[in-house]
Structure 1
Amino acid sequence: MREIPGETFLLGGDLPLNRIGYGAMRLADGPEPAPSATEAPIWRAPAGRAGAVALLRRAVELGVNLIDTADAYALGANEELIAEALRPYEGVTVATKVGVVRPSPAEWVTHGHPAYLRQQAELSLRRLRVDRIELLQLHRVDPEYPLADQIGALKRLQDEGKVRHIGLSEVTVDELRQASEIAAIASVQNLYNLSTREHDPVVDYAARHGIAFLPWFPFAAGAHAGPGSPLAEVAAEIGVTPAQASLAWLLRRSPTVIPIPGTSSVGHLEENVAALSIELTEEQYDRLSLSV
């Protein structure tokens, strides 16, 4: 696997990650026929399995060494696909998540019962075919159960040697602070991009405490990315795509940010990874930051 000098972050202080990862959620198909136009499509493994395997292997060839998945993606088939493509994971960290139930293609239901979290982690270990999950994330905090019990379930797995690092997804600063009192939190994965900035306080808190921040859906959308927008203007100035400029802004936003863009296109994958070499001037960064 290709290393990218100067563009790494030590997850948990001991796990070097290149600063653009890959979100594998897009490597899935929906039911046929789809029950509705709004139905969530992440339901089964992709029909084009060989292409998905090739894309994952190409990501690693490009230097991507963080692959993000979840037990809820395609009911575990996403984890099995990653194992088929990348095991024995030499130099590659696979992060997965537990805490969301998929009773139907259109439903994503939070479920944080400690016994369920432990069961799903055990199933992820089997599907990924590993003895230890390098980064296990709580997919969502479930208000029906004490946070201490949910984090405690992951901490118990860590104490047993089945989990290396613990992460959270879609949390506030207060929830992150509370969780950190129970176990060492190595990462946070929240929706965040140039045009969606509600989690600015979480990004700043993570930076101050050396916690990786993994923005999912890292691309600006809507008017922020359209023709004539500051993003389009900056992208044109430096000769890159708006998507690449979005990633470059994130990389400069905080030294602990590791975007995890997902795609089913090898061309887009290569474009995303190339954003690591893009440097925004201070004026360009400020212009984008103030455009929201």
Structure 2
Amino acid sequence: MKGAFAVANDRRSLLAYLLLAAVSVWWAGSYILIKIAVLDVPPATLATARLLIAATVLLVWLRFGHAESLPASFDAWARYAQIALFGHALPLYLIAWASMTVPVSEMAILVATTPLFAVLLACLALREKPSRAIIFGLLVGFISLAGFLSPSGISTLHSSRSAAPLAALLGAAASYALSGRAVARLQDKNALVTGTAVMICAIPMLLPLSLAFERPWAITPTAQALVALLLLGVVSTAVMYVAYYRLIRLSGPAFASTHHYLVPALSIAFGAGFLGERPTPIQMMLMMPIIASVFFARGLISRKL
């Protein structure tokens, strides 16, 4: 018969897997929702609206959920602002902008290269000579990305597309890697407090861009776009980010990073099922080394590089 401690560990493992599954499915589906919403709502306004909706939901949740109150110290808000910039404002805008031309499967795969950048940042932070395995993994990943972004690779994937949207998605991946390091250093135990504070910090980072260049008051989105936007704000941004912060605290950043190679596979399936996007064999051939390098990088993170 198991003791109480063993049972608690089993429950924790089950909760971690459930959170991982929820985060992976919803974040894979969010690329579909972004593609729908961006048809009527420009990128900066789309990202800002997501954050406004998410912040509103989290503030209500925080108010009536009997959770801790938001911190008052300047140092805490400075840490939240760093996470907001690199984990929300910048990548959400870049992804929304790139989604206007890039298929769902490619979006998911390029953003999922976050572990590659995380390993690179870890090497730079440790200031130690990386092992041969690390060098090999990084070389495979970045050489694959170079081939994917080369003129011949782009023309193979899409004859009329430039490299700028693809580079923007890699910028989002690098930004998420920076954010992940900041989240791992947080001392907060309450994921709801973290999520709420971060959303609040991210809104003023994007709102001026929306107001100055996209005239959000003149936008008339369709009902389909509004539903997609609400789902993005409430579920994909508010609920799932709280779940993700909870997952990091429950099982550590290594296990949480597993979603980086679950999301691409799910996104390819969702893109085919909902948008009719079916990657060609040549596209898959170009994508597979990138996916393999992400899997390898996640293994390096698991060893606490």
TMscore range, shorter length: under 0.3
What TM-score, normalized to structure 1? Answer: 0.24
Higher helix share: 2
Higher strand share: 1
What TM-score, normalized to structure 2? Answer: 0.23
